[in-house]
Amino acid sequence: MNKNIDETASTIVTSQPIGATVQIVVDTLFARIKSEEYPIDTRLPSERTLASELGVARNTVREALDVLETQKVIRRRAGSGSFVTYRSSTPRNAPANSVADETSPLDHLVVRGILEPEMVRLAVVNMTPRMITELSETLSKIETIQTDVDQFIELEEKIYMQIAEGTGNPLLASCYKLSIDTYRQSFRTKLRRRNLTPKRIQDYQKRYNTLFNAIASRDVASAVEFIKLHLVEEQQLLLQEF
């Protein structure tokens, strides 16, 4: 296997920098190849078809295919198209990472849009004073971060999991944990790190403080409205990458 391929995360690391949108296309196609949606020796859809399906320009698809060919994942034949040459070492029906492999950034946001408003609503109603104190302590830690993106993401995930556990519904908390685990394993994390500038970190710190105040004051309407607006802005930020 090529040393630049990270099979566990379904990503390909290149020696030369490429654009975020190209990286998404590379990771999406590699995930499909790895899961054997496109098995070895099969022909990939045309550049035009892929561009239409993924909502990107043909030159973006072409650049992504260049990367895949360089990493020996596909082989191009003049006049015939692109053919898969990569053979996954993961069995076709293996469950490991399968959800992450098949989940796009937009899919992830859709699931968040379903879970988070209800999760926040239940947390406002059910969080105990001790849980709210623990949430406040995590918020205090995240407010000290200025540039450490990895630490910020770690604490951000902790805030959301504390809210999920505060619902008092273990099934809902487990569903949300799966969402976080999928996020960690997918190419969405690359976009997250790319977008977390020091200024945006400050903006998120203020937002989470607003959310905490709504939870602590048991203001269901304000907390739910906040999370819905936050998700809309997250979607707009994602769409800017395309």
- 93 in a structural domain: no
Q: Are 114 and 219 within one domain? A: yes
Crossing angle of the two packed helices 20-34 and 58-70, in degrees rounded to 10: 60
Task: List the single range of 59-68, 75-84, 86-95, 160-169 with lowest mean pLDDT.
Answer: 86-95
Out of 84, 113, 139, pick the residue that ends a domain.
Answer: 84
- 97 in a structural domain: no
Rounded to whole angstroms, the Cα distance separating 174 from 136 reads: 22
pTM score of the predicted model? 0.59
Q: Are 21 and 117 within one domain? A: no
Residue 94 pLDDT class (50, 70, 90 cuts) = very low
What pLDDT was estimated at residue 78? 82
Q: Are 13 and 72 within one domain? A: yes
33: containing domain: 5-84
- 98 in a structural domain: no
For 152, other C-beta atoms within 10 Å of its C-beta total 21
Is pLDDT of 189 > 70?
no
pLDDT tens for each residue of 48-58? 999 999 999 99
What pLDDT was estimated at residue 14? 57
As given in the structure block, the two tokens for residue 142 are 């995240």
As given in the structure block, the two tokens for residue 234 are 């997250």
Half-sphere exposure of 106 (CA within 13 A, CB side): 9
Q: Are 171 and 58 within one domain? A: no
